[in-house]
Structure 1
Amino acid sequence: MQIESIEIKNYRLFRDARFVDIPRLCVLVGANGTGKSTLFDVFSFLKDALEMNVGKAVSKRGGYKELASRGFADQPIEITLQFRLEITGYERLVTYLLKIEPDAVGRAVVAREVLRYKRGASGKPFHFLDFEHGHGYSIINEEDFSKADEKLNREEQELDAPDILAIKGLGQFERFKAASAFRLMIENWHVSDFHVSDARPSQEDGFAEHLSTRGDNLPLVANFLFEHHKDRFDRVLESMKRRVPGVAVVEPKQTEDGRLVLRFQDGSFKDPFIARHVSDGTIKMFAYLVLLNDPKPYPLLAVEEPENQLYPELLPELAEEFRDYAKRGGQVFISTHSPDFLNALSLNEIYCLRKVEGFSSVSRASDSENLQSLFDAGDLPGYLWKQGLFEGLNR
């Protein structure tokens, strides 16, 4: 899966914003309050809406009036994703449209939900799922691409409530191919909310294959890699030794009372010490390496400001770790204020956000002829950003 474009209308700072030609590694820059966190919240909102329903996802964010762009609470919110997804053995460029609006008493409902893609190399995209206010249809024999449109089997459906996503209900059934694939994709998005304090405590003995969004199961996931994917765990250790000064060994150990703790061996000391005695930066780097060496990459990974608590010298290498992760199959979105992190990127991986008349405007750094010529001449993106040359890019 790779998202190629995102169009957002009337969602907080995004009155009418569009991200196009999105690469596998997409990095957002901009001053505070320009919408970087808002994009990540769009990802979280879609996941919440799928796991709960649209009404609860909106309520979690303060209600429709708080979620809609300021001054436009009477107008619908629209989110459109265009992405490549394998369906029945074919890779398709799929479009998902979600339109939300308040009902007569102000509750958020799904005004329109569409999943469409082209059946062949030409022609208009075909609607394989189309719902309005809880009523609609889905095609149940999508694999029969060679059949005429009228030969495709359309199944009419009515959802239990108008704030339930059709992809949530229908996506649980294999016969709705596109809805099932898209639901599974969103369910496996990972929007990081990592906190070093949560990653430090030792945990009761248990089992966890994937790092949680807050990182509070780090010892369990490290132990899982150690026991079941030793090659991945060894890669984490090698990266730690190479990139964190002084660290020689990181090992999960089980205590007598059944708790798992991380023990770090410093090359300067004989005895190992547990995670609570290690710096925040060391713990955070270890957590990122565990996350990025997951044997099954998330289809979408979103991380805000990974530079916090890390040495500036580590950031270019961390950027390379994120890029390697993206190459293995997980698309990565990152927000940053760090010139050192940006220096490891190409211009086509950087999107700049600015506020224009109170709302976010988005542009790609490589679309600027001036920035591109400076980059081609050898100037690094981080230095160009630090000099203020990204300012005015959206104008």
Structure 2
Amino acid sequence: MMSQPMQIESLEIRNYRLFNDMKFSDLARLTVVVGANGSGKSTLFDVFSFLKEALTQNVATAVTRRGGFNELVSRGEKGPIGITVKFRESGGRLATYDLQIAADGGRAVVEREILKFRRGRYGQPWHFVDFSRGRGAAITNEADYGEAGAKELRQDYQLDDPSVLAIKGLGQFRAFRVVSEFRSLIESWYVSDFHIADARPSVEAGESEHLSTRGENVAQVAQYLYEHHRERFDKVLDAMKRRVPGVAGVEARPTEDGRLVLRFKVGSFKDPFIARYVSDGTIKMFAYLVLLHDPKPFPLLAVEEPENQLYPELMIELIEEFRAYAERGGQVFVSTHSPDFLNGARLEEIFWLVKREGFTEVRRASDDPLLVSLFAEGDLPGALWKQGLFEGAHPR
């Protein structure tokens, strides 16, 4: 039996900047987030980055990069900052990861960290990890999980640093398979920080398997797809031809000095243009297609406002590319200011953020009876958003 891709089913955020107490429930493979400027869309994506940095480095470093604990904690709150992720792991079991962060002597520490699985609908959960400030326990007989009559066997551990996550320390050991799997999933999250300027210059010749978060290695990834996954490269090329007017071909060509440049064949011109001479939209669409046709989807892909520099007419096709990526195994979170992009979303995929009394609330389009009724009658979500029917989240 093939393992299932990880899917986050709910996300709770407490005392993290604008998110005093917010919860996303019943998340789909594709989640589209809208809201007025300042409502917290960027903060949501920063939570993903924070979790990844807290794991790959430590909690203290991740907090310091955001101005320190007092700058990160919600206004008027002392903490702890809390993040709870409920997810389906590869075996299909529902798991909960709960992280609480406090300040101790001016330094951020892990106040509590729990990773647990529930046995059946009503069974008591197994706490695979339960730590506080560097001390805690982990089960040592996880292979018995789910067996009739099996009981937890636990062992105490102590970490060297109270700001290091237990899933980092324990995840290095094969004995803790569940912990190791969850750790590797977070380490593989992709939070886009794409910059057009980075994708234009030529780069050192060679290959890269995956697009970097800033996009500076797009030519190397194109070369990798061309050499090792030609069917994927051909799909990217076909999509470019269909979706970017005048583009007849794309190639990653090495130069005499050993560098790699992207060359675009445009219209009836005899010679291709190199990347720095084509439009921002052409470069960005190509980078997104390279990312979304990765042979090994990231378990989580987060992209803010992908519509920037792109023609509105491309939005429906772009969201279809994101959905196809999600269906191949990578869960996707996208924020947008584009009604055209939103028109391609399903109601159960859409959440909107509303700022009330200084803090952010989250609402889901499929929970709103009026939106459900109008959508059933043929109205598109983007049009309903423009009309102001997403209360508190008008696009202007």
TM-score normalised by the chain length of structure 2: 0.96
Q: CA deviation at 1:153?
A: 2.8
Deviation string, structure 1 residues 261-320 (Cα, Å, up to 9, x no partner): 111001221111100001000000000000000000000000000000000000110000
Q: CA deviation at 1:178?
A: 1.7
Change (3 A) 1:174 1:120: farther
Tell me the amino acid that sits aligned with residue 28 of structure 1: V
Does the alignment pair 1:45 with 2:50?
Answer: yes
CA distance in 1, matches of 2:268, 2:314: 21
CA distance in 2, matches of 1:107, 1:335: 32
Match of 1:26 in 2: 31
Q: Is the 8 A contact 1:305 1:337 kept in 2?
A: yes
CA distance in 1, matches of 2:207, 2:239: 24
* Correspondence list, 1:7-86, <5 A: 7-72=12-77, 74-86=78-90
Q: CA deviation at 1:206?
A: 2.8
Give unmatched runs, 5+ long, in structure 1.
Answer: none
Match of 1:195 in 2: 195
Q: Is the 8 A contact 2:174 2:180 kept in 1?
A: yes
CA distance in 1, matches of 2:289, 2:205: 22
Structure 1 residue matching 2:263: 3-state secondary structure:
strand
CA distance in 1, matches of 2:368, 2:352: 11
Q: CA deviation at 1:122?
A: 3.4
CA distance in 2, matches of 1:121, 1:359: 34
CA distance in 2, matches of 1:343, 1:156: 52
Match of 1:94 in 2: 95
Q: Is the 8 A contact 2:35 2:352 kept in 1?
A: yes
Deviation string, structure 1 residues 169-214 (Cα, Å, up to 9, x no partner): 1011111122101100000000000000000001012331000000
Match of 1:242 in 2: 242
Change (3 A) 1:205 1:392: closer
Match of 2:135 in 1: 135
CA distance in 2, matches of 1:264, 1:393: 39
Deviation string, structure 1 residues 225-271 (Cα, Å, up to 9, x no partner): 01000000000000000000000000110111111111100122111
Match of 2:3 in 1: none
CA distance in 2, matches of 1:390, 1:175: 48
CA distance in 1, matches of 2:48, 2:58: 14
Tell me the amino acid that sits aligned with residue 85 of structure 1: E
Structure 1 residue matching 2:313: 3-state secondary structure:
helix
When the two chains are superposed, the root-mean-square deviation of aligned CA atoms in Å is: 1.2
Structure 2 residue matching 1:224: 3-state secondary structure:
helix
Structure 2 residue matching 1:62: 3-state secondary structure:
coil
CA distance in 1, matches of 2:52, 2:206: 26
Give unmatched runs, 5+ long, in structure 2.
Answer: 1-5
Does the alignment pair 1:3 with 2:8?
Answer: yes
Q: Is the 8 A contact 1:140 1:177 kept in 2?
A: no
Structure 2 residue matching 1:288: 3-state secondary structure:
helix
CA distance in 1, matches of 2:355, 2:95: 30
Deviation string, structure 1 residues 5-51 (Cα, Å, up to 9, x no partner): 00000000000000000000000000011111111000000000011
CA distance in 2, matches of 1:11, 1:340: 31
Q: CA deviation at 1:147?
A: 5.7
Q: Is the 8 A contact 1:375 1:381 kept in 2?
A: yes
CA distance in 1, matches of 2:273, 2:320: 29
CA distance in 1, matches of 2:212, 2:119: 37
Tell me the amino acid that sits aligned with residue 34 of structure 1: S
CA distance in 2, matches of 1:350, 1:121: 28
CA distance in 2, matches of 1:5, 1:318: 25
CA distance in 1, matches of 2:365, 2:336: 14
Structure 2 residue matching 1:257: 3-state secondary structure:
coil
Q: Which deviates the most, 18-27 or 205-214?
A: 205-214
Match of 1:210 in 2: 210
Q: CA deviation at 1:121?
A: 4.6
Q: Is the 8 A contact 2:36 2:393 kept in 1?
A: no
Match of 1:349 in 2: 349
* Correspondence list, 1:303-382, <5 A: 303-382=303-382
CA distance in 1, matches of 2:82, 2:339: 33
Match of 2:115 in 1: 115
Deviation string, structure 1 residues 118-139 (Cα, Å, up to 9, x no partner): 2345312221110011101111
Tell me the amino acid that sits aligned with residue 231 of structure 1: E
Q: Is the 8 A contact 1:115 1:178 kept in 2?
A: no
Q: CA deviation at 1:356?
A: 0.7
The percent identity for this pair of structures is: 66
Q: Is the 8 A contact 1:365 1:393 kept in 2?
A: no
Corresponding pairs, count: 388
Deviation string, structure 1 residues 80-112 (Cα, Å, up to 9, x no partner): 0000002xxx32100000000011x12110010
Q: Is the 8 A contact 2:33 2:353 kept in 1?
A: yes
Q: Is the 8 A contact 1:188 1:299 kept in 2?
A: yes
CA distance in 2, matches of 1:238, 1:392: 40
Q: CA deviation at 1:368?
A: 0.4
Structure 2 residue matching 1:378: 3-state secondary structure:
coil
CA distance in 2, matches of 1:139, 1:119: 15
Match of 1:389 in 2: 389
CA distance in 2, matches of 1:50, 1:190: 14
